[in-house]
Amino acid sequence: MIKRNKPVLNAQQYNDLLIKFFIVFFVINMAVCLIFGFISNGDAISIMLNGHGKPPSPFRDFYESIYDGSKNYSYTQSGNIYPPVALLFFRFMSKIITPDLLSLWYRYIGRMLCDQRTMIVFLIFCIICLLWMYNMLNKKFVSESNRKLAPILCFCCIFSYPVVYCIERGNVVILSMLLTMFFVFARNDESKYVRELSYISLAFAAGTKLYPAIFGLLLLKDKNFKGAIRTIIYGFIVIAVPFMYFYILDPTTNIELPAIFTASASSADIQTNVAAAEETKGVLKSYIDSIGRLFNRKSGWVYFGSVSIENLAFMTMNTKTKDNQELRGEIGKILFWASEIIALSLFFFAKKEWQKVSLLTYLMLNIPAASSAYAMTFIIIPFACFVCEKEKSKIDWFYMACFAILLSPLPTLWYFNHALFKALYKSYLGIAYIPSLNKLTSYVIYQLMHLVMLIQIITITFSKDTEKKDEMKNKPIECQEFTELEEAVI
Amino acid sequence: MSSTKTKLPHRALSRQKIQEEQQDKMLFAFIMFFMFNLIASIGIAIMSRGESVTASIFGISNGKEHFMHMFDNIREYNQAKIYSYASKIYPPLATVFYRLYGLLLNNELVYADESGRYLMQKDQRAMMIYIFFASVVIILLTRLFERQIKHIKSRTVVKLITFSIVVSFPILHCICTGNIAILALLFSLCFIIYRKSENAKLRELSYLSLAVAVGLQIYPIVFILLLISEDRAKFKFSRTIIYCIVILLVPFLLFVLFENPNNVGIAIKNSLIAFLNLFKVGSKGLNFDSISITNIVYMPIVRRLINQKMFMASVALFSSEFLAIVLFFLSKSHWRKVFLLTYLFINIPGISNQSILSFILPVFVLFACDVKNREKSDWIFFILFATILSPIPVWWYFYADKLTVWANHNGFPFEASINKVCGSLLFQLMFILVVIVEIVAIVYRCKKAAQNTYYEISYINDIDNMQNEVTV
């Protein structure tokens, strides 16, 4: 009987197999989502994004931020958490918006959705972001992975759940992600101009959302200390200069400027400026407080959409009794700080590019206030690096499965019996429920993936250390033998 | 002998070099002109708080019409028995597209009456689907255009040209109004680029793409004439026609049979009537949204010279269409052939609008890539393309009130967009120039053919004479 050996795949073929698995998984889920959407007149899709009930107004983060950016008291009164660059971007946008909308009371700003100028600006913003994402990912995949499958992979990333959710919210995190992606992909480019541009790009990414600043550690890992110093300088300029602009603008600083610099778009400012002067704690303190709020939990129970490890502490909490809420909060904080320290430490031991990027992404997404379904767009960066990794092993099937679950738009399989499912879920499990399968599973899958990666890095690091020690023991003898031989030859 | 042999390649090389230098200068000038206009437009948009942009695309009085072409069509195409109406043509594949779109929205939006016309603008799914639709189409267009101009050495120039194409006025008009013509443009471009591909599968896909474009908007059918001059033309032509018929007829019959089974004949008759109505010259006067030659008879100076405007407009329309089709068969230049075909449908009054002017983009790309036949006269075409495609800043926006009064006094509507005011004039001017160039080229070819025939005849006569002398 002739034994047939299994065909041995080379690295490229193995990688292609993984990519095809991802694409097939993605396409099947997307197709099922669409079919459910057609049958339910789109309700099944809205539920995936926003849960049951009437869908909220789309793109609200975008026009709410434009509203906030148009005010001179952006930090002192509205408690804005956006860094100055993002706010400057929205202030610029507010200059092209109908002024009457900006003078409305806050609860009526949904009318911006029907405004021609706002929507055209948002449409062009989305097109530019998605086009840029496609170009960067396509270039990366074509040069380092499978050329034929590159366009399909790029479209999978564009239609991934985090990106779709981000566009639905109108959140500017997608811009921050793209700037960070450019830095990660181009920081080792052959052209020095492109490399410099990548450092500036990271500075702007940090200026848009602060937490991408953590990616600067990649330069330290690459031992590119000059680049790191220059990036810090760029970051400082990019954050400080716009901040000074808002500092000067704020009515609480009592600096008189010509009207062209201070003219905010709304007459409501005149009324609120008086109120702002009364309750003031300074622009700088307000901004520092807003950074501090990043580490506060958004809610006292499971926050779906967040992948922070703190969520695990609240996972089993009974929704009715909310037992041991404070204790769970404390446990969550301990888990958070422990995981951050471990991730940061292991970053310096990680060898593979995708693992380094993934650990930095974890450091960022683990922060409670920064962690959300739309911030998960940052996962596309480690995913792209993972796809382009040349050496693959069996464990990578697990990672690819995790990426596939995190990125694919998962249909709400129980949609047509959701009332029954919800009742059974709550009565038997008694824990928090959300109809979106993506939000329900993302924090478990993400933390699990991260845990396996940590174990792998530790295992490889220690096994390599052991191998090195053995090599060091043997080396002197071998060297001695070689030199004796050499002497004999001479 | 050896010196003439060395001179010929050198002359050819120097001519090629001159052509490439001219090409580089033209592309540079195009990019500079485009970027200047774009930056100036953004500046004026900031000064006018965005009103100049919306006035340029939608007009001054229309404040809520963004994406409404798409949303209105969703409501209209989802009505039952739409093929019973004689007012317009409903391309079958477009009906499929709008119905699928409508399936993802709530029924109260899709079947809303006039009072609920703007509800879709506030709907999460309607807006999300549109944004992703526009983004994907723009990405695919960018990829196709980049593929077409990839021979240009400088990557920066390729990126800038592609960017210019994507933010050109016709494309912006398309996506801001929600016109599905951009989808038909995408599939038509696939056909134009890949119909001569060496890969048989790509060629087949290109024929299918044309069929899809025809199913979406009908008028791209004219591009099928490009197959006539190719190898195995009959075979390719007949296959593409079959694809077009299948894609047009199958959905059409399905809709009619399911919704209006007793009136198949009436449905076909109404569709034909609607098709013929497209060529009717309107009597409504000047319409800056139209690019058709019929618009020119209503222009301020011209209309005072012409008494029977509708008759003259019809004469101008049919003679220009006839000239375009004749010159198409006689032309040897690829980009001019595509231009003449594009002219055929952009000139039709019933469908002519600023969004359909986006079909000039493949013509521009082919023209920009035609380095081998570059002449100095091509500067004029470059200027025309640059002016038609660039989003020209609305310089006179701040005097809109005074200009509106002046325009009304002179009996025509005020149009804020310089692109719209100049678009039809420049497009028709381009057509006239192409006609002139083609006629000159035809005359030159005829002259050359006549000279060759004379030499051949005189050569044959000389041989005959020599033979006669020998026999004698």
pLDDT digits (tens, 9 = 90+) for B231-241: 788 888 999 99
Tell me the angle at which helices B378-389 and B169-177 cross, rounded to the nearest 10 degrees. 30
Nearest by Cα to A62 from A206, A179, A166 = A166
User: Which pLDDT does position A436 carry in this prediction?
Assistant: 84
Domain interval for residue A96: 57-296
Under 8 Å between Cβ of A165 and A374? yes
Least confident span in A458-472, B15-29, B399-413: A458-472
The stretch B73-87 carries a mean pLDDT of 78
Phi, psi at residue B111, to the nearest 5°? -105, 20
CA separation for the pair A484, A128 (Å, rounded): 67
Helix locations, B331-417, DSSP H? 334-346, 360-369, 378-389, 400-409
Nearest to B131 among A117, A121, A167 (CB): A167
Q: With beta carbons under 8 A apart, name residues in chain B contacting A159.
A: 132
* A457 close to A355: Cβ distance less than 8 angstroms: yes
The answer on pLDDT for A346 being more than 50 is yes
| pLDDT score at A70 | 79
Pick A298 or A12 by higher pLDDT: A12
**Residue of B299, B289, B295, B286 whose CA lies nearest to B320:** B295
Q: What is the pLDDT of residue A209?
A: 87
Q: What is the dihedral of CA A75, A84, A158, B170, to 10 degrees?
A: 100
| CB contacts, 8 Å: B54 with chain A | 116-117, 120
Query: Which candidate in B71, B131, B159, B182 is best for mutational testing of the A interface (most A CBs within 10 A)?
Result: B131
Question: What's the pLDDT band for A473 if we cut at 50, 70, 90?
Answer: low
**Closest alpha carbon to B291 in B329, B311, B320, B312:** B320
Mutate to test the interface with A, among B66, B120, B394 (most CBs of A within 10 A): B66
Residues of chain B with Cβ-Cβ distance to A116 below 8 Å are 54, 58, 63-66
Q: What is the pLDDT of residue B233?
A: 82
| 3-state SS record for B44-97 | HHHHCCCHHHHHHHHCCCCCCCCCHHHHHHHHHHCCCCHHHCCCCCCCHHHHHH
The two tokens of residue B246 are 């299948």
Helix axes A150-158, B124-148, angle to 10 degrees: 150
Residue B77 reports pLDDT greater than 80: yes
Q: Provide, as residue numbers in chain B, all residues whose Cβ is less than 8 Å from the Cβ of A133.
A: none
**Whether pLDDT at A471 is above 70:** no
Confidence of residue A282 (pLDDT cuts 50, 70, 90): low
DSSP string, A213-234: GGGGHHHHHTT-HHHHHHHHHH
Q: Which of the listed ranges A323-327, A446-450, B15-19 does the model predict with the highest average pLDDT?
A: A446-450
Residue whose C-alpha is closest to residue B415's, from B58, B44, B40, B128:
B58
Ramachandran bin of B234, using left for φ above 0, alpha for ψ from -120 to 50, beta for the remaining angles: alpha
Tell me which of A196-200, B49-53, B323-327 is least confident.
B49-53
Asked if A70 and A266 count as a contact pair (C-beta separation under 8 A), the reply is yes
B139/A116 CB distance under 8 A: no
User: Residues B126-160: pLDDT tens digits?
Assistant: 999 999 999 999 999 999 998 888 777 778 888 88
Nearest Cα residue to A309 out of A328, A287, A288: A328
What is the DSSP secondary structure assignment for residue A350, as one 8-state letter? -
Residues of B with Cβ-Cβ distance to A121 under 8 angstroms? 50
Name the residue ranges covered by the structural domains of chain B: 2-471
pLDDT of residue A106: 65
Closest chain A CA to residue B159 = A135
pLDDT tens-digit profile of B338-357?
999 999 999 998 888 899 99
Cα–Cα distances (Å) from A130 to A148, A379, B132, in that order, read 20, 16, 9
Q: Residue B321 CA to chain centroid, in angstroms?
A: 15
- How do residues B35-44 score in pLDDT, each as one tens digit? 999 999 989 9
- The length of chain B is 472
**How much is the pLDDT for A479?**
44
Q: Is A164 on the interface with B (CB under 8 A)?
A: yes
Residue A205 burial by CB count (10 A; 0-12/13-18/19+): exposed, middle or buried? buried
Cα distance from B343 to chain A (closest Cα, Å)?
29
Cα distance between the two ends of chain A: 56
CA–CA distance, B351 with B359 (Å, rounded to integer):
13
Say if A59 is an interface residue toward chain B (CB within 8 Å).
Answer: yes
The answer to whether A130 contacts chain B (CB < 8 Å) is yes
Closest by Cβ to B49, choosing from A98, A122, A159: A98
What is the C-alpha separation between B190 and B362, in angstroms, rounded? 10
H helical segments located in B218-358: 233-259, 264-277, 300-305, 309-330, 334-346
Range of lowest pLDDT (A30-44, A94-108, B140-154, B424-438): A94-108
Number of other CB atoms surrounding residue B464 within 10 Å: 10
Name the residue among B292, B314, B309, B298 with its Cα closest to residue B427. B292
Query: Distance between CA atoms of A396 and A402, rounded to whole angstroms?
Result: 10
User: Does A114 sit within 8 Å of B64, measured CB to CB?
Assistant: yes
Q: Which residue of B has its CA nearest to A168?
A: B128
Give chain B positions within 8 Å (CB) of A126: 131, 135
Instruction: Residue A371: name the closest of A312, A433, A288 by CA.
Output: A312
Question: Is A58's Cβ below 8 Å from some Cβ in B?
Answer: yes
Half-sphere CA count of A136, side-chain side, radius 13 A:
23
Write down the residue that tokens 């698995």 correspond to. A21
Tokens 């086009």, residue located: A131
Q: What was the pLDDT predicted at B381? A: 92
Selected for mutation to probe chain B from A60, A127, A143, A167 (highest B CB count within 10 Å) is A127
CA angle B41, B43, B48 (to 5 degrees): 90
Q: In the numeric block, which tokens belong to residue A82? A: 């956006």
Interface probe, candidates B101, B125, B140, chain A, greatest A C-beta count within 10 A: B125
Which residues from chain A sit within 8 angstroms of residue B143, using beta carbons? 151
Structure tokens that stand for A288 in this block: 């520092």
| pLDDT at site A420 | 78
In sequence order, the 6+-apart residues with CB closer than 8 A to the CB of B108 are B116, B119
User: Chain-centre distance of CA A386, in angstroms?
Assistant: 16
Q: Which of A164-178, A454-468, B220-234, B388-402 has the lowest mean pLDDT?
A: A454-468
- A-B Cβ pairs (cutoff 8 Å, strict): 108
Among chain B residues, the shortest Cα distance to A33 is held by B104
Q: What is the helix (H) or strand (E) element at residue B182, kind and residue range?
A: helix B181-194
Residue B272 CB neighbour total at 10 angstroms? 12
Pairwise CB contact (< 8 Å): B53 & A155: no
Q: Which amino acid is at A140?
A: K
pLDDT at A199 over 80: yes
Q: What H or E segment, with its residue span, contains residue A64?
A: helix A60-69
Distance (Å, whole) CA B61 – CA A164: 34
pLDDT confidence bin for A252, thresholds 50/70/90: low
A127 has pLDDT over 50: yes
Cβ within 8 Å, pair B104-A45: yes
A349-405: per-residue pLDDT in tens? 998 999 999 999 999 999 887 788 888 999 999 999 999 988 888 899 999 999 999
Residue type present at position A310: E
Residue A478 has pLDDT above 50, yes or no: no
B103 with A158: Cβ contact below 8 A: no
As for how many domains chain A has, the answer is 1
Average pLDDT, chain B: 85
Residue A99 touches chain B, beta carbons under 8 Å: yes
A136 to chain B, closest Cα gap in Å? 12
Nearest to B292 by CA among B278, B304, B305: B278
The chain B residues in contact with chain A (CB within 8 A) are 45-46, 49-51, 53-54, 57-58, 63-67, 100, 103-107, 118, 121-125, 127-128, 131-132, 134-136, 138-139, 142-143, 166, 175-176
Chosen for mutation from B51, B104, B111 (greatest number of chain A CBs closer than 10 Å) is: B104
